[in-house]
Structure 1
């Protein structure tokens, strides 16, 4: 087994590994892509890897397992996180969520087999299941932990009441909540400043979720933190163009990359948000390296300037 999970500044998301989602199997070239992505991550100071059992319909975990098999000493150097709870649509069957205890156990065992490891460092419940019984979920998580199959647990895309309801039945602390957070997806941040304004109701983000996580030691991870390159590559709106120009100026002034500036903006928040970058490109991974190895070098004023430029209107 590996050592205890480490505190990470940056995580490599593995959703893009394993080749096309509609293919039944992966090719040798897909393993090479995974191997190069892992190598680039390690060279950049990234040692945590984020999976889900549905990524590539299981192939993302499988090719990562091939990389671990090729390099037996690698497992002790990395932290592996996976998620379960989403059932993809197939033929005439619609997609659904399934957090029944036996389903959680089965999906974890399948992930461990594909990843060729005996333990997940972290397991996240991928989406809320309205039919889930929190006592049943907690029983499954306790058993997986007691048997040494999962070290710690968290959730993804859940609000504060959902987290609290599950935690009330769980003796193990929920360690993570993974949400979409970026300079483009700012509703989680806007929620905290739009109180008592007409725009509050339209914001839509579940109020108090970030504050609940801060108060209860639930770490925040951000999926899609680079916003599909809106501020480091392609721009579609005047706000994105203006923000990209500001990001580029800050990157030049601080001797780093635009990708790092965008990620530092998340890391600068008091929640110490951990971005999960979703790329298989070694060059793009390495461009994020300073976010993994250095503390954010953004001043209070620079952080606000990025936010206000991206939102396109002054704060209330």
Structure 2
């Protein structure tokens, strides 16, 4: 599988990442099969968060790791923190205080049954963030060897710049929603100086900012349209888009999932794609997209078939 050089240190990671948000209801045997399927298809990067099913996803994953000595060394392990959950999936608050970050990372390490994570991301922006508190937490976690690399999730350029005022470690990753049907960070750059709605810059040119600052974008929800409104693949609401994707998929002899992945990876920003599915056959099919390089025209044809217009 294609490898992505992450951050300024250019540490290599698989272009496709296995998202672990939906594994809580799986058996240990099923999670073991999931991990093995990922590894067989070149997916070596696994993404968690402390709030995914209140830590149950990390706990289950940790049980599988503990039963297989040597497996931890074969994977890149990432988790996120900073969200305080209320009832169910409701976010009660965001907390980037030193105390909260240290406590939640230690809890994640205990659940994952490992002494360190390769990457730690701040999950969603905390309006009350004090960069000095984040810096103190990161320094302690790094010095203790509990976190090797750091990043953020869903943050804009000035939020990252504010953190960088105090944080000494490079912020190497930014997780952002991106798919063929969720292209805001791309649309604004195409429609510069236009009066159409697509010209609205809602994220401070985060795509260009990340490229300029060696921050790797991890695209989440690569098959979704809207904010968890559903998948666009094989969806009768989007006939023109699916017709175009299916045409390109037939050319390369792969599934439509692979083309949706390939479309994101074709961008020269050198992104990673996070798969949320736990269906092993779909994972294997999607992973093939990492080895396909769409032509420039194919990329633009799919972009326009999704309903976007070029100026």
Whether the 8 Å contact between 1:191 and 1:203 is mirrored in structure 2 is yes
Q: Provide, for residues 234-269 of structure 1, a one-character-per-residue CA deviation record: whole Å limited to 9, x for no partner.
A: x142xx221111111111111222111111111111
How far, CA to CA, are the matches of 1:230 and 1:111 in structure 2? 30
Q: 2:145 aligns with which of 145, 148, 155?
A: 148
Q: Which ranges of structure 2 fall in alignment gaps of 5 or more residues?
A: 1-9
Instruction: Look up the SS of the partner of 2:120 in the other structure.
Output: strand
1:202: Cα distance to partner? 7.2
Match for residue 302 of structure 1?
298
Match for residue 24 of structure 1?
none
Q: Per the alignment, do residues 261 and 38 of structure 1 end up closer, same or farther by CA in structure 2, a change over 3 Å counting? A: same
Confirm whether residue 128 of structure 1 aligns to residue 125 of structure 2.
Answer: yes
Whether the 8 Å contact between 1:230 and 1:236 is mirrored in structure 2 is no
Match for residue 95 of structure 2?
98
Match for residue 71 of structure 1?
68
Task: With the length of structure 2 as denominator, give the TM-score of the two structures.
Answer: 0.91
How far, CA to CA, are the matches of 1:246 and 1:277 in structure 2? 22
Equivalent residues in 2 for 1:1-316, closer than 5 Å: 6-19=12-25, 30-90=27-87, 95-200=92-197, 203=200, 205-227=202-224, 230-233=231-234, 235-237=235-237, 240-292=238-290, 294=291, 296-310=292-306, 312-316=307-311
Runs of 4+ in 1 over 6 A off after TM superposition: none
Task: With the length of structure 1 as denominator, give the TM-score of the two structures.
Answer: 0.89
Match for residue 25 of structure 1?
none
Q: Which ranges of structure 1 fall in alignment gaps of 5 or more residues?
A: 20-28
Q: Per the alignment, do residues 287 and 132 of structure 1 end up closer, same or farther by CA in structure 2, a change over 3 Å counting? A: same
Instruction: Look up the SS of the partner of 2:139 in the other structure.
Output: helix
Q: Provide, for residues 8-30 of structure 1, a one-character-per-residue CA deviation record: whole Å limited to 9, x for no partner.
A: 211000000112xxxxxxxxx53
C-alpha RMSD over aligned residues: 1.9
Instruction: Look up the SS of the partner of 2:180 in the other structure.
Output: coil
How far, CA to CA, are the matches of 2:34 and 2:264 in structure 1? 23
Indicate the larger mover: 210-219 or 94-103.
94-103
- Which is strand-richer, 1 or 2? 2
How far, CA to CA, are the matches of 1:132 and 1:274 in structure 2? 27
